[in-house]
Structure 1
Amino acid sequence: MTLYSVLVPFLPRRPERVLPYAALVHWTRAERLWQGQALLVEPHQGFAHAAGSGFRVPTGLGVTLMPLRHPFEAALQARSLAMTTGQPVVAGFGPGAKSLQESLLGAPYASPLTAAREYLTAVRGLLANEIVDLKGEYVSCHGSLPAFPAPPVEIGLGVLRPGMARLAGEIADVAITWLTPAAYLLDVVLPAMHAGAEAVGRPVPRLTAIVPIALEHSGHEPAELALASNGAHLKGPHYIDMLRRGGVDVGGEDPTADAGALVDGGAFLSGGTDQLLDQLKAYETAGVDEIVLNLTGVYNLIGPQAAMADLKTILAALAC
């Protein structure tokens, strides 16, 4: 059974702005509350605030960026969040853009795959209360976290292309995708995950897809909503490459045309309630274990009330 979850569709400037979304997860069939990396209110703190306000819900970090924190700090923050909320945490990590890597580390990762392997290996060992002794190409860590009971923390890896998908199959609990069409997940991502898992003799990780979505809104074309949701991603070479691999005709030069291509290529879902349910069914059929509803485009273009109303409508329809 595919689970459905909710993404906080903005970068919170105050932690109390997370509360309506935590409440939505608390009171509906939504499985988990997700947030991506933020440079305003950081997701660990926002989720902890929600727990302190009475909304103790499972959470997902999709994804936090490796250059921002050492693996020891990453493991500590993730377990601290699980202890604070009393609920399971999916701690997702990704290498981030090359520009971020260079600005914080002095140089970009020559091999993001090696960096991610070392990083997740250290985090997993620390969360397992092992003494981690790792001196790698990118990560050095010798130490352990003090053992203490806590809800489970699962390790996620941000995945766009086959190499990272295969690595997720080898070392992650959850592969986390963003803006990936259902057919691309079925044809490219999942086979690579299976190959990685088979190579090391372990179960295939779960697949979580964070999916940009919008109900029909009078006066707003789907491409407008897609651009409001994913304009920044359409400038990223790694996203452009992934989308082209997935059959989405993006060129990287005309944002308006590329936003239309997202809609036509099934990377951005839009339409009436029944149409959206049909499009979401394609992700279920592809083998996605958890679909995270991302209403960022609606939030940015039409406003917070419209985004919340869309979420409630979609979740209610899914419950029928």
Structure 2
Amino acid sequence: MNEQNNTRKDAIDINDFVFAATGARVRRLTMPDGTHWFPAADVLKELGYRNPRKTLADHVPTEHRETLEKVTGGYALSIPAGREWRRDMNLVDLQGLIRLVNGCTKPESQPFKAWVSEVIATIQRDGSYSLEPAPVQPAAPTGTTAYAVPQQLADALVRLEERSTRSDAALRQIDDKQNTIVEMLRDITKTLRRSDDRSRPVQAPELTPQQLLANWKSRNLVVTEDVHAVAAHLAPALLHGGAGYSVEEISVCTGLSPDRVHDSLELLSEQECVRQVGRAPNGAPFYVLP
């Protein structure tokens, strides 16, 4: 593998190379000299290693692993922002990544291992290994050459992309099933609501304040002018959930003295025309219909 600078295109695209090796897209830092570094945590996770510290010590020599701060500091670069980049994060270079893949037991790494073995065998037999130029050259600046991806890597990429496609299809099926279930639940809810509506007794028409006062009077309640004035003031609010008026408020609205308002409220309570159920937010007694 030829590490190349920014003036030339990599013989094998590094993203495809890493994807074929690990089965996933992992974070990558490319230094000004063209070398690539990868967060060890990303690589180890995708390759199924469970003990990062021991794995790095067992598989990757110190010259192929480094902390993020030392790697970026060597080029006077700042620490990347976001995505959980930390100064003490362990990185591995391309050689370190290959060593980790070669020690991996996941089936997905086998095509990549087969290619690495072929490279080693070819170098031992022929003394060198080189990529074949692509039969069809894409549009590129003059003087550049595109290379064909080795068959083992191409097969690995195809298998991984097919697996990703199947996963996407499975997720879409799950989403479709969830949407179907949601629609079914909505239909069931609508049915239950209609059934519940049919089972409820027919509500009597809402009373008007005048009808409420007439109802109280029909129960032989002695409705004096004071009681009538207080009851008329309470009635509209009582018919809409409850009345939370202070004695002083009723006194101002009716023109009665606070004592007369108090006596009228007590009479309405004694005759079970109203019932106090606590106090309103303003501290006034809160009355409702019994």
TM-score (norm 2): 0.21
Larger gyration radius, structure 1 or structure 2: 2
TM-score (norm 1): 0.20
Greater strand percent: which structure? 1
